[in-house]
Chain A
Amino acid sequence: MTIDTTPNLEPARPAETGGSVFTSKSGLRAFFEAWPPLVLIALLWIGLIAVVVIAAMWIAPYDFMALDLRARLIPPVFMGGTWAHPLGTDELGRDVLSRLIVSIRISMIIAFLSTVIAAIVGVTLGFVAAYFRGRIEQVILMLIDAQAAMPFMIIALAVLAFLGSSLMLFTILMGFYGWERIARISRGLAISANERGYATAVRDLGATPFRIYSRHILPNIASTLIVSLTLNFPEVILLESGLSFLGLGVQPPMTSLGNMVGYGRDYIQSAPWIMLAPSAAIVVTTLSISILGDWMRDKFDPTLD
């Protein structure tokens, strides 16, 4: 491989300052440097999704399960349909927009709850490892390695095969995705936080380990944890939608984004909008959260991988 290029190792130099050490930036430019347009768009989309999740039942124009056999496979508005069904209808005449709204709600709630579970499991095990060290730490590290070595998709499929699928079990299962990364991060952070003055000070004041970890160390490492949770979130969405797509996650009559893509694929030729609407929702949402997460990481904690 021949690579011919100039080294690009120096940090980016500030823009030409015209001899003055002070740079005068217009307010608008400073604003967009602090908040890149891409991040703003991502935030807007996440806000929209949040509204959809909270208000799904009020903004959905139809019941997501309501059949209308006279209005089957109507194309969306921009493909020759009518405003009665802006995103068209499916093979049973169910309104795609209403189903999309409910699906977004279900998928996001599962992803959110799962991330909370992953955070609780990960932080607890990480802190336990950091507090006890020794043999307990070795066991936890071994668990972390074992989890990291096995593709989670396979573990999830095996558990679903053995235990069957229900919404609660499925959410808990998704909650075990990514705990090992969070555990590893919180262990490392807690170990170094333990050496800091504030931890020593409250320990010498007689605080219990539980109090030290929950009231002092946790708030101090929270920003890093939040960044890594934000990066975990889209992966859970992808995993959930993948399993639901395979028909092994969220079960009908309940609906989720992956679920919609899964049955929409049978109509890829005659009614591609059934599949495209939820696909677009998955892609734009995961992309937005990833952009936000990357931006937060660069801003708050560039050391995180």
Chain B
Amino acid sequence: MVQYLLMKIFRALITVTLIVSAAFVVLRLSGDPAIIILGPEAPPEAFAAFRKNWGLDQPIWVQYFKYFGAVFHGDLGNSMRDGRSALVVVGERIPLTLAITLPALFIKLCIGLPAGVTAALYRNTWVDRLIMMVSVAGFTVPSFVLGLVLAMIFAVWLGWLPSGGSDTWAHAVLPTVTMGLVGAAVIARFTRSAMLEVLGQPYIRTASAKGLLWRDVVRNHALPNAAIPTLTIVGFLVGSLVAGAVVVESVFSWPGVGRLLVNAVANRDLAVVQVILLLVGLTMVGANLAVDILYGIVDPRLRIKRLQAGS
């Protein structure tokens, strides 16, 4: 088990290294940052000073190693716009993003899991069709359209909730609900197919054949097994908490990491973009690692297989 964990952590580290390197390569591919920031008409002395200041006058491989060292020291450069540390600029937005994405995750799970399981159990009945219709609609309505329609109904027409900003908890309701509903559709669909797959397995037939109540078959045999593939998609959702907020935060002017990213992209504030890129990469890798560990706990078969393989 320890060796398995070390293996997983080692692979996670390789992935992180790849992400950091990719960020460096793309950063260099994007052209001369001096021209992007200062504009092509700036005086040559300004270019020289800028290049010296940011270490752009050194050979590319020196830059690469320096970059690497700096990244692992937590020095990710300053926001090229306001000069503050990019890490700080991003860090102060993280709590705001979590304030809407964590409740949204809760909504997704509370609606998506039961809906998916129910649809699978009542396969091909009107219940299943209804749930899948709603789920397909959730897939095809973009989150910005859903968000704007909700804002139109609850903010413009009914005037119950504010349509943008972040002053009170009421401001968080619409973005949270928007994200929750869209995500619930994804989870419902995935849970349904995971559940259907399990229900078709021979051990379910065996359990039914030996006379167990259908309720017990579902509770003790189907649900735990369907939980395993569902864990993967939940892990992906946890890992993409920040990414999923990009559009919705912009719709509701919620000043979280997602909106910061959109603004940074529009202003080409590369240091901030890079920090967010690494943040998303790290959360994805971390979530995947957590899912791998949880697999071992939830699925005893994996544990035994690993013991037999001697690793």
A-side interface residues toward B, CB under 8 Å? 1-9, 12, 146, 149-151, 153-154, 157-164, 234, 238, 241-242, 245-248, 258, 261, 265, 268-269, 272, 275, 279, 282-283, 286-287, 290-291, 294, 305
Q: Are B124 and A12 in contact (CB under 8 A)?
A: yes
A161 cross-chain contacts in B, Cβ below 8 A:
264-265, 268-270, 273
- How far apart are the CA atoms of A160 and B145 in the complex, in Å? 23
Q: Are A279 and B148 in contact (CB under 8 A)?
A: yes
- How far apart are the CA atoms of A5 and B122 in the complex, in Å? 8
A294 cross-chain contacts in B, Cβ below 8 A:
136
Given contacts A157-B246, A287-B136, contact A268 B121 (CB under 8 A): no
Task: Give the contact-size bracket for chain B.
Answer: 35 or more
- Listed by A's residue number, 7 A-B pairs whose Cβ atoms lie within 8 Å are A2-B215, A7-B217, A8-B122, A161-B270, A162-B29, A238-B140, A268-B148
Q: Are B215 and A162 in contact (CB under 8 A)?
A: no
* A110 nearest CB across to chain B (Å): 15
Interface of B is mostly: helix
Q: Are B268 and A242 in contact (CB under 8 A)?
A: no
- How far apart are the CA atoms of A8 and B218 in the complex, in Å? 12
- Across the interface, A154 reaches (CB within 8 A) one of B163, B217, B243, namely B243
* B245 nearest CB across to chain A (Å): 10
Given contacts A265-B148, A290-B140, contact A157 B156 (CB under 8 A): no
Given contacts A9-B200, A151-B244, contact A287 B148 (CB under 8 A): no
- Across the interface, B243 reaches (CB within 8 A) one of A153, A279, A283, namely A153
- Across the interface, B26 reaches (CB within 8 A) one of A159, A238, A282, namely A159
* B209 nearest CB across to chain A (Å): 11
Q: Are A3 and B121 in contact (CB under 8 A)?
A: yes
B15 cross-chain contacts in A, Cβ below 8 A:
146, 149
Q: Are B215 and A3 in contact (CB under 8 A)?
A: yes
* A262 nearest CB across to chain B (Å): 8
Lowest 3 A-B CB distances belong to which pairs?
Answer: A162-B30, A151-B243, A161-B265
Query: Interface code B137-151, partner A: CB below 8 Å = 1, 0 otherwise?
Result: 101111111001101
Q: Are A162 and B273 in contact (CB under 8 A)?
A: yes
B274 cross-chain contacts in A, Cβ below 8 A:
158
Given contacts A146-B15, A268-B156, A287-B137, contact A241 B142 (CB under 8 A): yes
Output the nearest chain A residue to B113 by Cβ-Cβ distance: A1
* B283 nearest CB across to chain A (Å): 10
Asked whether any CB of chain A lies closer than 8 Å to the CB of B104, the reply is no
Output the nearest chain A residue to B285 by Cβ-Cβ distance: A149
Output the nearest chain B residue to A305 by Cβ-Cβ distance: B193
Q: Are A149 and B148 in contact (CB under 8 A)?
A: no
Q: Are B125 and A8 in contact (CB under 8 A)?
A: yes
Known: A3-B118, A162-B27. 9 other contacts (CB 8 A): A5-B214, A151-B239, A151-B243, A151-B244, A151-B280, A153-B246, A157-B262, A161-B265, A246-B262
Q: Are A248 and B243 in contact (CB under 8 A)?
A: no
Asked whether any CB of chain A lies closer than 8 Å to the CB of B307, the reply is no
Output the nearest chain A residue to B28 by Cβ-Cβ distance: A162
Asked whether any CB of chain A lies closer than 8 Å to the CB of B261, the reply is yes
CB interface residues, B 110-133, toward A, < 8 Å: 114, 117-118, 121-125
A1 cross-chain contacts in B, Cβ below 8 A:
114, 117, 219, 223
Asked whether any CB of chain A lies closer than 8 Å to the CB of B1, the reply is no
Q: Are A291 and B268 in contact (CB under 8 A)?
A: no
Q: Are B148 and A157 in contact (CB under 8 A)?
A: no
Given contacts A154-B277, A279-B149, contact A162 B270 (CB under 8 A): yes
Output the nearest chain B residue to A262 by Cβ-Cβ distance: B144
A238 cross-chain contacts in B, Cβ below 8 A:
140, 142
Q: Are B218 and A3 in contact (CB under 8 A)?
A: yes
Asked whether any CB of chain A lies closer than 8 Å to the CB of B240, the reply is yes
Asked whether any CB of chain A lies closer than 8 Å to the CB of B208, the reply is yes
Asked whether any CB of chain A lies closer than 8 Å to the CB of B176, the reply is no
- How far apart are the CA atoms of A291 and B246 in the complex, in Å? 27
Asked whether any CB of chain A lies closer than 8 Å to the CB of B247, the reply is yes
B124 cross-chain contacts in A, Cβ below 8 A:
8, 12
Asked whether any CB of chain A lies closer than 8 Å to the CB of B6, the reply is no
* B213 nearest CB across to chain A (Å): 9
Output the nearest chain A residue to B193 by Cβ-Cβ distance: A305
